[in-house]
Amino acid sequence: MAIKCGKKLRSSRPSWKTESRRGTPSFCLYNPLVFAHLWQSRFAVPFLVVILAMVGLLLPACHGVRPISVPPEVVEKVASRAGFYPGIIEDNWSAIESLGGFFTIKAEHRGKSYQAKNTLMLKKPSLFRLEILNPMGMATTLLVSDGSTFYLYYPEMGEYLYESPTRENFKKILGIGLNGEELLLVWMGQFLSFSNYQVTRVEWHPKSLLIRVIARSQNAALEAAYWIDPIKERLLKGSMRDLSTEKSIFNVEYSNFLRLGRREVPGKVTVFLVKERVKLTLNASRIDCNLPTIESSAFRFVPPVGARRILLEEIEGKGPIIFGR
């Protein structure tokens, strides 16, 4: 029988709180005479055990809380796997050759907020194409990389930027120093290479039912932490800090997971760069993997005739460059 709080259960039987027809108190726990008699009798200890057991069973039901026990073998299975996160990420990553979708990107920096809808295409090893759209669905900013170069193009202004795809340049453009493949890895939940880090501690948190994995880089300069759901085998959040300064570098959270066949990818990724005070939120409305229609030509760009080339120094420091000038 389900127990609902805040509602009285009706019964055809007389209530234990009421008096009998003859005027004598009926048997109830609220009757002090009955309670005193039980407490002084040899049934005191069993009686107390029964009361405590009833309280322990009824309170979780009334508050909508059901204790969940995770089998030890599940915890051990997750904790014993090499790397930060179980092989789920590696399996997903090896199965995905390309990815495309519609997103909303929101950047928050120095008290200002920038938001835009966009389309994103990624293809191994380091190809990507990002189009920022206006309310009419027209591209206002285009970022294209073929792995060796990248272009930033503003169609409305007829200006383009041509640079090498270094992490420093990507950091100035995207707010985070990642190329196409690394961006996809972060999205999948692997923001660091498995081979360059070693797990040093695994913690089981019974209250949250999560596993916290601590790992350090081979040179002991960086430390990463992962929070894993062992039941659904999902990475929920992670963080990175510099051990030399004991300062946090960035935090990342994953949510709104989307099913893609046998695979899952986070529909929402939030990255916060601590030093730069930049918060990036990618919220996907649609994601498709291994699209046969994504051709390599989509990641090449030829500047239109008459377009003017600009330098990165001309627009640097004026807010997120990807949202236009």
96-105, 114-123, 242-251: range with highest mean pLDDT: 242-251
CA–CA dist 167, 20 (Å, integer): 83
Q: State residue 228's pLDDT score.
A: 84
CA–CA dist 48, 108 (Å, integer): 57
Cβ partners under 8 Å of residue 305, min gap 6: none
pLDDT band of 141, cuts 50, 70, 90? confident
Q: Is the pLDDT of residue 277 over 80?
A: yes
Would you list the domain boundaries of the chain? 33-62, 73-142+165-297
Query: What SS3 class is residue 252?
Result: strand
The answer to whether the Cα torsion of 140, 105, 109, 191 is positive or negative is negative
Report the range of poorest mean pLDDT among 63-77, 158-172, 229-243: 63-77
Summarize the confidence of residues 266-278 as an average pLDDT. 85
The answer to whether the Cα torsion of 11, 17, 21, 27 is positive or negative is positive
What's the topology of domain 73-142+165-297? Answer: outer membrane lipoprotein receptor (LolB), chain A (2.50.20)
How distant, in Å, are the alpha carbons of 79, 131, 268 from that of 289? Answer: 29, 18, 16
How distant, in Å, are the alpha carbons of 7, 115, 143, 253 from that of 154? Answer: 63, 17, 9, 31
Q: Is the pLDDT of residue 83 over 70?
A: no
* Token pair listed for 250: 């960035």
Q: Is the pLDDT of residue 51 over 80?
A: no
- Which of 325, 323, 314, 319 is closest to 162 using CA atoms? 314
Q: Is the pLDDT of residue 58 over 60?
A: no
Phi-psi group of 111: left, alpha or beta (phi > 0 → left; psi -120 to 50 → alpha; rest → beta): left
Q: State residue 221's pLDDT score.
A: 85
Q: Are 289 and 260 in contact (CB under 8 A)?
A: yes
Q: Give percent of the chain with pLDDT exceeding 90.
A: 1
Q: Is the pLDDT of residue 15 over 80?
A: no
Q: State residue 177's pLDDT score.
A: 54
Summarize the confidence of residues 92-104 as an average pLDDT. 75
Which of the two residues, 65 and 112, has the higher pLDDT score? 112
pLDDT band of 24, cuts 50, 70, 90? very low
Q: Are 126 and 181 in contact (CB under 8 A)?
A: yes
pLDDT band of 86, cuts 50, 70, 90? very low
Q: Are 186 and 272 in contact (CB under 8 A)?
A: no
Q: State residue 142's pLDDT score.
A: 85
Q: State residue 2's pLDDT score.
A: 35
* Token pair listed for 269: 């990724």
Summarize the confidence of residues 129-136 as an average pLDDT. 78
| Residues 225, 230, 232, 235, Cα dihedral to 10° | 10
Residue 8 is classified by DSSP as P
pLDDT band of 259, cuts 50, 70, 90? confident
Q: How many Cβ atoms sit within 10 Å of the Cβ of residue 20?
A: 10
Which of the two residues, 276 and 79, has the higher pLDDT score? 276
Report the range of poorest mean pLDDT among 24-33, 72-81, 300-309: 24-33
Q: State residue 280's pLDDT score.
A: 83
Report the range of poorest mean pLDDT among 76-90, 215-229, 230-244, 245-259: 76-90
Q: State residue 262's pLDDT score.
A: 65
Give the N- to C-terminal CA distance of the chain in Å, as an integer. 63
